[in-house]
Amino acid sequence: MTAKRPKSGVYKVDSETGNYLAGAVFNLYAADDIYSVDGKLLFAAGELVATSPETGADGYTYFDCDIPIRGEYYGSSIRKDATTNSGNYIVKELRAPLGYYVNEEPMEVTFTYDGQAIMVLDNTCANKPTEMWVSKRDLTNDEELPGATLAIK
């Protein structure tokens, strides 16, 4: 059996209806410095690791990259290599589906290994639909004009 690399995904849903949303794109950032096995700095804290494809009709997307997980000596060693990686990452929405606001709240995730051949970590990002209010007001006193009609094109 060939081990597959870890995969991290995000589901995009409407916060009011719970419906899955297509068209969202996310970025994955390193929360801490990430090192290779030989001690080479792969990603500095805050650096972009990957950008997801757009969410599909099922509201799902993933980061198709090698994602270093928490090292076995994380927090107990001063050396800087893959064995001391935190496995901590931040997911931010880059682009919201049409008609929705970008969710500005970053999602913190930690990747660990418990002996699985494949590790799949999923998170859900909920958004509110874009809202717009339009009214016709008098320029001199800012009072709403009754009976006014507007067309938005």
**CATH number of the domain bearing residue 75:** 2.60.40.10
Q: Is residue 152 part of a domain?
A: no
Per the CB < 8 A criterion, the answer to whether 16 and 24 are in contact is no
Report how far apart, in Å, the C-alpha atoms of 149 and of each of 133, 136, 146, 153 are: 13, 8, 9, 13
Record the tokens describing residue 61, joined without a space.
């997307």
pLDDT tens-digit map of 44-91: 999 999 999 999 999 998 888 877 777 776 666 676 666 777 788 899
Q: How many domains does the chain have?
A: 1
Q: Is residue 34 part of a domain?
A: yes
Average pLDDT over residues 30-55: 89
Which residue segment(s) compose the domain that 29 sits in?
7-127
Q: Is residue 11 part of a domain?
A: yes
Per the CB < 8 A criterion, the answer to whether 4 and 117 are in contact is yes
Cα–chain center distance at 93 = 5
Q: What is the mean pLDDT of the chain?
A: 78
Report how far apart, in Å, the C-alpha atoms of 80 and of each of 40, 65, 84 are: 8, 22, 6
Q: Is residue 51 part of a domain?
A: yes
pLDDT at 131: 59
Record the tokens describing residue 44, joined without a space.
């500095």
Residue 112's DSSP bridge partners are none
> Could you tell me where the beta strands, DSSP code E, fall in the chain?
7-14, 25-30, 34-35, 41-43, 48-51, 60-63, 88-95, 107-110, 120-127
pLDDT tens-digit map of 78-130: 766 667 777 888 999 999 998 888 888 898 887 776 665 444 454 555 666 65
